[in-house]
């Protein structure tokens, strides 16, 4: 019984041979190492900035100015407010009401009223607690009515009304005067920066920069370089289908790109995880987002690899087209970062990669919009000027804007997990259709 | 597994019995306004065939058609009975040596041959074994672990031939294998080609130098401006040429002085004064004439600075062959 | 004699480059054997001819050096508009044309504003300190998608093609030294880019004057700003050209330098943007060639700066970038082998 010789015989051997050939060819090129080295350096540099930010201590800010003593009577403003004495009148202080009251240490009135929000998924709710007594006025008793304590007018004294705005896609808060108005900046900053960094770094550093430039440098020449070197016929004048040549060349590129990305992501995950704020030694929770970033970057190099390889194969001006496509993706990436709900953003590859990261971030840290709302609720604006006559801190809490600029809720209108699946599917479909078009062109291409 | 997207059927016979290795039926190929091949029909099976033609005669076009690099505009082309643009299966029985000098310089000779052997479906071990065999056959065993970038031109040609032989092909196509080689490398490559022919394979060799082909084979195809000009045994074509007088050109200071001595010679059929410094002798007996010339020149006392045979190249054969057409 | 040779082949300072030594090297010898006229093989060969070989020293007169350099320059420049010179290819010309239209966008919108009498449109796009800056250094769309792409396409094969195909021999076997060759390549890129960036700035400024019929007072007000914007544009052109040509000189392909240039301009900008958004450290912008030039331009024109570090840092960074790029460029060309690599 002789072995039946079919066209499929030895397909795996051919795949191994051509893939291995491509890997070795790339390894011998200096430019491969230069590109990957520069990518590694850039990643390390940004990580350095992050570690620096995480080890920095943010100076405590007295957001409501209640550790000051405006009238110089020895009692800090916060203490006077609790007793309803005039903070600007040195002859009116709690010691006059009850001589046993001695002035408090002013440092007690810094970071004394942090966030204690406990939010469920319902859209309108009341949260928050007045930790320092500048709303509840426990010492003043009946002198302050409930309606005076209810400046946001939701009928509940000393609370914060939080509601989910479907239109704007974010939480909005309206607080009673003196509730959760002086949180710990350092704690907030490190948490917000931690999340902002993973998301921003994942989307801009990995999905956009590595995702576009690695294939642009390494995959565009997969076929084009063989054509220009007049060595393509060594590959195609063989008992092998041309679609196979395309796929195995791409596989060879991926065999270098995928471990490279994995190493970079793992390295970043380790550095960021150990530098993460919180009590635990290493933040395991992040790994979900890092996996999403890895998946997204992998899919990006697969899709762009297929696109750029086919561009290079079709025509010698395909390289110019590849550069122009790269610029197009760059512009749409900027749009995606700014507002992913714009439809035009979906006409890019990078949108779908960034959406994967967004979806994973939404699944791991679903309360991030709330964190942004919290950072924004300390605007120091109207709430305190009514109380103190001063605007204490005109800005949001440090880190809020960084988090806000990179955080995007998945914009497709589905749950994060479904969004993730759709994005992966779209990217895979792009890759497959590109390869299909590519092999159809390649099959009829003359190599002279 | 990768599905084969071009083919409807999966397992078809690799070759059909009793179909010739090469079959061209009224094949034409043109590049824009330029004609590469014009209505060529040939069938070749077995033995070494030399393909002769000037630059641009269509040799490379023919070979590129045969190895599936380009498509014919008209006519049908079959390799072992199969259209290479329909199925790549005939390539498992073909070895192709391109005219291009470019190779993967970063690989060693052994890597180069064995890697592409694996594209024929050989396992890694089998590929290395076969590669070592063919490298020995072309005589490069001692340098097979050096990078191709460091090879000389002759070595590069031979490693290309080794690459073409590694799948034990039945049809071997060599496009200008002797180009740019020194005489030693030429001899080695010619021996390799003769040996292949003796093994019963179909070998196609192209060249624009008649003498080279003469030393390899007697079966020739002559292409001229894309047309098939002659096909058959070299001797037959040669004897056709022998009916036509050969020329010998003498370069000397006094052509008329030497002509005087030659006029009485029986071997001379005619004399032409090309210029003040050269004389062309027409003769049917080239060998005898060459034997007698030194004595004649010596006697005449004319100072001769050069003797050559303007006929003894492809150009004059072509001129002769095409004279009938026009 | 030998000093001249050194001047020509090695580009030594202070000595005249006449090209004569090189012509003699090509056509004969200048080493004292001028009188040798023939080396003839004796006719002991049967059936062949060995031709008489005559070597004569070259006795011609060379055109001046600038004329030789000019011919290199015009070879590259005229290729943009007509055949018979360096072939730039139609995608290159298309890209140049469309970038020209983008660059003229502000003038045409200002014109629109003037024609329909909408002073708001004119205020947005007409000549002002900010718009003069924006014409050469605005990020979007000019420096995001126009100028870097054009630079990338221009420098792509500029030197690397010569390396790859060995066509540098066409230059180096003639009386042209390598420094001149480099300089002419540099100038030809810079002139094309300069026409696109600074040239359209001039068109914009002059067009605005003609369109509005501005008087002397306006001219005196705006002319210094225009000159400074032109200076900033020249710095941009110089920086892009030197970085681009340095990349072209280290590579053999067309594609690698082009992509590497895009990666340097857009990649460093994006990285700096990421770090700025996250950590508010504007020092990171010192790695981005575009941003250092933009910073210099902002301080030249006295605009409020987007960056919080002193502009002199950007100046130093720009000088360092150019010095590095020019060093790479000259050393690569000095050591370039005249062969098909």
Contact present, B134 and B113 (Cβ < 8 Å)? yes
Closest residue of chain C to B304, computed from CA coordinates: C43
What whole-number distance in Å separates Cα of residue C235 and Cα of residue C150?
Answer: 16
Closest residue of chain B to C341, computed from CA coordinates: B149
| Window A:191-210, CB contacts with C under 8 Å | 193, 196-197, 200-201, 204-205, 208-209
Q: With 90 as the cut, is the pLDDT of residue C290 above it?
A: yes
Contact present, C197 and C136 (Cβ < 8 Å)? yes
Contact present, B307 and B268 (Cβ < 8 Å)? no
> In the prediction, which pLDDT does C2 show?
45
B140-192 confidence digits (pLDDT tens): 999 999 999 999 888 898 899 899 989 889 899 998 888 877 888 888 888 88
Give the contacts of B264 (CB within 8 A, at least 6 positions apart): none
Judged by a CB distance cut-off of 8 A, whether residue B68 touches chain A is yes
Distance from chain centroid for Cα C39 = 48
Q: Least CB-CB distance to A230: which of B31, B100, B115?
A: B100
* DSSP for residue C41: -
Contact present, C80 and C93 (Cβ < 8 Å)? yes
> In the prediction, which pLDDT does A67 show?
82
**Regions of chain A where pLDDT drops below 70:** 1-10, 141, 379-395
A266 CA to chain B: closest CA distance, Å?
31
Closest CA to B104 of B113, B117, B94, B95: B113
What whole-number distance in Å separates Cα of residue C291 and Cα of residue C269?
Answer: 7
A35 CA to chain B: closest CA distance, Å?
19
Contact present, B51 and B216 (Cβ < 8 Å)? no
Mean pLDDT of chain A: 86
C167-178 confidence digits (pLDDT tens): 888 888 788 888
A111-144 confidence digits (pLDDT tens): 888 888 887 777 788 888 888 778 888 777 677 7
> In the prediction, which pLDDT does B213 show?
83
Helices (H), B16-100: 59-66
- Yes or no, beta carbons of B304 and C43 under 8 Å apart: yes
Write down the domain spans for chain A: 11-58+186-443, 68-106, 112-181
> In the prediction, which pLDDT does C45 show?
45
Please state the φ and ψ torsions of residue B30, each to the nearest 5 degrees.
Answer: -135, 150
Proportion of chain C above pLDDT 90, given as a percent: 52
What whole-number distance in Å separates Cα of residue C4 and Cα of residue C23?
Answer: 12
Query: Average pLDDT of C274-296?
Result: 93
Least confident of A133-147, B30-44, B209-223: A133-147
> In the prediction, which pLDDT does C7 show?
52
> In the prediction, which pLDDT does C29 show?
47
Query: Average pLDDT of B53-73?
Result: 86
Confidence of residue C122 (pLDDT cuts 50, 70, 90): confident
Number of C-beta neighbours around residue A20 at 10 A: 17
Complex ipTM value: 0.87
Mean pLDDT of chain C: 84
Distance from chain centroid for Cα B254 = 40
* DSSP for residue B78: E
CATH topology of domain B22-239: Rossmann fold (3.40.50)
Contact present, A127 and A114 (Cβ < 8 Å)? no
Can you read off the two tokens belonging to residue A248?
């195995």
C207-254 confidence digits (pLDDT tens): 999 998 888 999 999 999 999 999 999 999 999 999 999 999 998 888
> In the prediction, which pLDDT does A442 show?
93
Strand runs labelled E in chain B: 22-31, 34-44, 47-52, 74-79, 94-97, 171-174, 202-207, 219-224, 227-233, 246-252, 268-275, 278-283, 304-308
> In the prediction, which pLDDT does C19 show?
64
**What architecture does CATH give domain B244-323?**
2-Layer Sandwich (3.30)
Mean pLDDT of chain B: 82
Query: Average pLDDT of C152-162?
Result: 89
> In the prediction, which pLDDT does B38 show?
86
Can you read off the two tokens belonging to residue B78?
């079959």
| Window B:103-142, CB contacts with A under 8 Å | 103-104, 106-107, 111, 115-116, 118-124, 127
Q: Starting from the edge strand earliest in sequence, which strands make up the sheet with B268-275, in order? A: B268-275, B278-283, B246-252, B304-308
- Yes or no, beta carbons of A208 and C270 under 8 Å apart: yes
B71 interaction partners in chain A (CB closer than 8 Å): 444, 446
Instruction: Please name the chains neighbouring B, where neighbouring means 3+ C-beta pairs under 8 angstroms.
Output: A, C
More confident residue, A354 or C89: A354
B4-31 confidence digits (pLDDT tens): 433 333 344 444 556 788 888 889 998 8
- Hunting for tokens 């370039």 — which residue is that? C336
> In the prediction, which pLDDT does B310 show?
67
Burial class (CB in 10 A: 0-12, 13-18, 19+), C197: buried
Contact present, A213 and A301 (Cβ < 8 Å)? no
B280 interaction partners in chain C (CB closer than 8 Å): none
Closest CA to B30 of B229, B174, B222, B225: B225
Task: Give the Å distances, CA to CA, from A340 to A327, A337, A355, B230.
Answer: 18, 6, 8, 71
What whole-number distance in Å separates Cα of residue A204 and Cα of residue A212?
Answer: 11
B305 interaction partners in chain C (CB closer than 8 Å): 43, 49
- The terminus-to-terminus CA distance of chain A in angstroms comes to 43
**What pTM, to 2 d.p., does this model score?**
0.85
B309-320 confidence digits (pLDDT tens): 766 566 666 767
Write down the domain spans for chain B: 22-239, 244-323
Query: Average pLDDT of C134-157?
Result: 91
Confidence of residue C258 (pLDDT cuts 50, 70, 90): very high
Closest residue of chain C to A322, computed from CA coordinates: C259
> In the prediction, which pLDDT does A10 show?
65
> In the prediction, which pLDDT does A287 show?
94
- Hunting for tokens 């994995």 — which residue is that? A262
- Yes or no, beta carbons of B88 and A230 under 8 Å apart: no
The SS3 call for residue C296 is: helix
- Yes or no, beta carbons of A6 and B11 under 8 Å apart: yes
B213 CA to chain A: closest CA distance, Å?
25
> In the prediction, which pLDDT does A103 show?
87
Confidence of residue C339 (pLDDT cuts 50, 70, 90): low
> In the prediction, which pLDDT does C119 show?
83
Instruction: Please name the chains neighbouring A, where neighbouring means 3+ C-beta pairs under 8 angstroms.
Output: B, C
Percent of residues in chain A assigned helix, strand, coil, to nearest 5? 60, 5, 35
> In the prediction, which pLDDT does C32 show?
47
Judged by a CB distance cut-off of 8 A, whether residue B71 touches chain A is yes
Handedness of CA C60, C65, C71, C72 (dihedral sign): positive
Can you read off the two tokens belonging to residue B40?
């060529």
Please, what's the largest Cα pairwise distance for chain B?
82
Beta bridge mates, B76 = B25
């Amino acid at each position: 019984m002789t072995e039946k010789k079919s066209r499929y015989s030895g397909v795996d051997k051919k795949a191994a041979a051509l893939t291995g050939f491509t890997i070795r060819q790339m390894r011998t090129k200096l430019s491969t190492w230069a590109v990957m080295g520069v990518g590694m350096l850039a990643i390390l540099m940004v990580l350095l900035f992050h570690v620096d930010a995480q080890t920095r201590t943010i100076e405590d800010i007295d957001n409501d100015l209640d550790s000051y003593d405006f009238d110089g009577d020895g009692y800090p403003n916060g203490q006077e407010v609790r007793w309803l004495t005039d903070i600007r009148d040195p002859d009116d202080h709690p010691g006059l009401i009850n001589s046993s009251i001695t002035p408090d240490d002013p440092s007690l009135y810094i970071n004394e009223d942090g966030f204690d929000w406990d939010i469920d998924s319902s859209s309108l709710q009341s949260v928050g607690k007045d930790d320092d007594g500048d709303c509840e006025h426990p010492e003043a008793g009946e002198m302050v009515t409930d309606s005076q304590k209810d400046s946001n007018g939701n009928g509940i004294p000393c609370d914060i009304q939080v509601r989910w705005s479907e239109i704007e896609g974010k939480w909005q808060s309206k607080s009673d005067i003196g509730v959760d108005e002086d949180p710990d900046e350092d704690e907030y900053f490190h948490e917000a920066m931690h999340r902002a960094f993973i998301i921003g770094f994942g989307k801009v550093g990995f999905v956009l920069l590595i995702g576009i430039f690695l294939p642009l440098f390494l995959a565009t020449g997969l076929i084009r370089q063989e054509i220009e070197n007049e060595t393509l016929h060594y590959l195609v004048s063989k008992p092998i289908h041309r679609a196979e040549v395309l796929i195995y060349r791409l596989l060879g590129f991926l065999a270098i790109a995928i471990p490279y990305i994995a190493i970079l992501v793992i390295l970043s995950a380790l550095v960021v995880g150990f530098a993460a704020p919180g009590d635990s030694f290493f933040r395991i929770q992040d790994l979900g987002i890092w996996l999403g970033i890895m998946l997204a970057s992998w899919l990006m190099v697969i899709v762009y690899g297929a696109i750029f390889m086919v561009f290079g194969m079709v025509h010698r001006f395909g390289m110019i087209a590849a550069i122009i496509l790269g610029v197009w993706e760059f512009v749409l990436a900027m749009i995606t970062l700014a507002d992913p709900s714009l439809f035009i953003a979906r006409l890019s590859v990078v949108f779908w990669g960034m959406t994967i990261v967004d979806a994973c971030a939404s699944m791991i840290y679903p309360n991030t919009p709330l964190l942004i709302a919290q950072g924004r609720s300390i605007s120091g604006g109207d709430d305190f000027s009514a109380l103190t006559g001063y605007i204490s801190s005109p800005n949001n809490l440090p880190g809020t804007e960084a988090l806000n600029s990179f955080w995007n809720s998945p914009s497709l209108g589905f749950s994060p997990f479904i969004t993730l699946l759709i994005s992966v599917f779209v990217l895979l479909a792009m890759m497959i259709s590109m390869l299909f078009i590519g092999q159809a062109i390649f099959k009829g291409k003359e190599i002279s | 597994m990768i599905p084969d997207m071009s083919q409807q059927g999966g397992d078809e016979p690799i070759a059909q019995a009793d179909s010739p290795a090469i079959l061209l039926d009224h094949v034409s190929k043109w590049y824009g306004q330029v004609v590469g091949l014009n209505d060529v029909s040939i069938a070749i099976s077995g033995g070494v065939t030399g393909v002769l033609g000037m630059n641009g005669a269509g040799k490379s076009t023919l070979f590129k058609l045969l190895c599936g690099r380009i498509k014919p505009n008209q006519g049908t082309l079959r390799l072992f009975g199969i259209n290479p643009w329909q199925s790549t299966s005939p390539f498992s029985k073909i070895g192709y040596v391109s005219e291009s000098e470019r190779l993967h310089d970063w690989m060693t000779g052994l890597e180069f041959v064995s890697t592409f052997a694996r594209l024929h479906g050989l396992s890694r071990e089998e590929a290395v074994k076969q590669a070592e065999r063919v490298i020995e056959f072309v005589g490069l065993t001692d340098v097979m672990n050096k990078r191709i970038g460091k090879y000389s031109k002759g070595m590069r040609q031979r490693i290309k031939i080794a690459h073409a032989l590694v799948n034990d092909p039945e049809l071997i196509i060599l496009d200008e294998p002797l180009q740019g080689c020194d005489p030693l490398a030429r001899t080695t490559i010619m021996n390799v080609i003769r040996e292949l022919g003796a093994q019963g394979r179909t070998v196609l060799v192209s060249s624009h130098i008649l003498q080279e082909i003469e030393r390899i084979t007697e079966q020739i195809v002559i292409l001229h401006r894309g047309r098939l000009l002659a096909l058959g045994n070299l001797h037959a074509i040669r004897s056709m040429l022998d009916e036509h007088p050969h020329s010998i050109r003498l370069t000397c200071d006094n052509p008329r002085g030497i002509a005087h001595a030659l006029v009485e010679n029986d071997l001379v059929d005619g004399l032409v004064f090309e210029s003040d410094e050269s004389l062309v002798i027409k003769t049917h007996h080239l060998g005898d004439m060459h034997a007698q010339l030194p004595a004649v020149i010596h006697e005449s006392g004319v100072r001769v600075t050069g003797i050559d045979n303007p006929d003894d190249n492809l150009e004059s054969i072509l001129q002769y062959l095409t004279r009938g057409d026009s | 004699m030998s000093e001249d040779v050194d001047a020509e082949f090695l580009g030594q300072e202070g000595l005249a480059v006449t090209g004569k030594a090189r012509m003699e090297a090509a056509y004969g010898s200048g080493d004292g054997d001028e009188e040798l006229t023939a080396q003839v093989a004796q006719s002991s060969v049967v059936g062949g001819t060995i031709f008489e070989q005559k070597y004569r020293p070259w006795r011609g007169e060379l055109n001046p050096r600038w004329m030789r350099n000019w011919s290199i320059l015009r070879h590259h420049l005229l290729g943009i508009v007509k055949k018979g010179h360096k072939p730039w290819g139609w995608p290159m010309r298309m890209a140049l044309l469309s970038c020209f239209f983008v660059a003229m966008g502000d003038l045409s919108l200002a014109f629109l504003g003037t024609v329909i009498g909408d002073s708001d449109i004119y205020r947005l796009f007409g000549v002002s300190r900010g718009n003069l800056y924006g014409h050469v250094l605005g990020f979007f769309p000019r420096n995001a998608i126009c100028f870097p792409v054009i630079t990338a396409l221009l420098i792509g094969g500029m030197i690397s093609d010569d390396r790859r195909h060995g066509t540098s021999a066409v230059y180096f076997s003639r009386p042209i030294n390598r420094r001149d060759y480099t300089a002419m390549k540099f100038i030809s890129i810079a002139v094309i880019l300069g026409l696109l960036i600074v040239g359209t700035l001039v068109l914009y400024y002059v067009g605005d004057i003609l369109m509005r019929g501005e008087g002397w007072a306006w001219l005196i007000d705006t002319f210094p700003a225009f000159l400074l914007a032109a200076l900033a544009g020249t710095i941009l052109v110089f920086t892009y050209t030197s970085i681009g040509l340095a990349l072209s000189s280290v590579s053999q392909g067309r594609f690698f330098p082009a992509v590497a240039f895009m990666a340097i301009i857009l990649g460093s900008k994006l990285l700096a943007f990421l770090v700025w958004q996250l950590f508010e450290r504007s020092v990171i912008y010192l790695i981005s060639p575009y941003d250092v030039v933009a910073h210099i331009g902002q301080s030249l024109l006295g605009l409020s700066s987007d960056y919080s570090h002193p502009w002199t840092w950007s100046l130093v960074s720009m000088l360092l970038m150019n010095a590095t790029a020019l060093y790479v460029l000259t050393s690569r060309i000095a050591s370039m082998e005249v062969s098909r690599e």
